Amino acid sequence: MTTGAFGIRLQEAMAQFGPLCVGIDPHPELLQAWGLPLDPDGLGAFARTCVDAFAGHVAIVKPQSAFFEEYGSVGIAVLEETLAAFRGSGTLTLLDVKRGDIGSTMAGYARAYLADGSPLAADAITVSPYVGFGSLQPAIDLAHDTGRGVFVLTLTSNPEGPSVQHANRDGISVAGSIVAGVTAANAAARSAGHLGSIGMVVGATVGAAVADLGLDLAGAKAPLLAPGLGAQGADAAAIQEVFGPAMPAVLPSSSREVLAAGPEITAIRAAAWHSWPVTGTPSGP
Q: Give the catalytic positions in this structure.
A: 98
Helix residue ranges per DSSP H, the chain: 6-17, 28-33, 40-54, 66-69, 73-86, 103-114, 137-146, 161-165, 174-185, 187-192, 209-212, 236-243, 256-259, 265-275
What b/e sequence results for 121-150 when a residue is b if at least 16 CB atoms lie within 10 Å of its CB, and e otherwise?
A: bbbbbbbbbeeebebbbbbbebbbebbbbb
Contact 143, 198 (CB under 8 A): yes
Q: Is the peptide bond before 263 cis (omega within 30 degrees of 0)?
A: yes
Q: How far apart are the first and last CA of the chain?
A: 24
Element (H, E) at 21: strand 21-24
Contact 78, 63 (CB under 8 A): no
Contact 46, 52 (CB under 8 A): no
**Pairing status of strand 168-169 against strand 172-173:** antiparallel
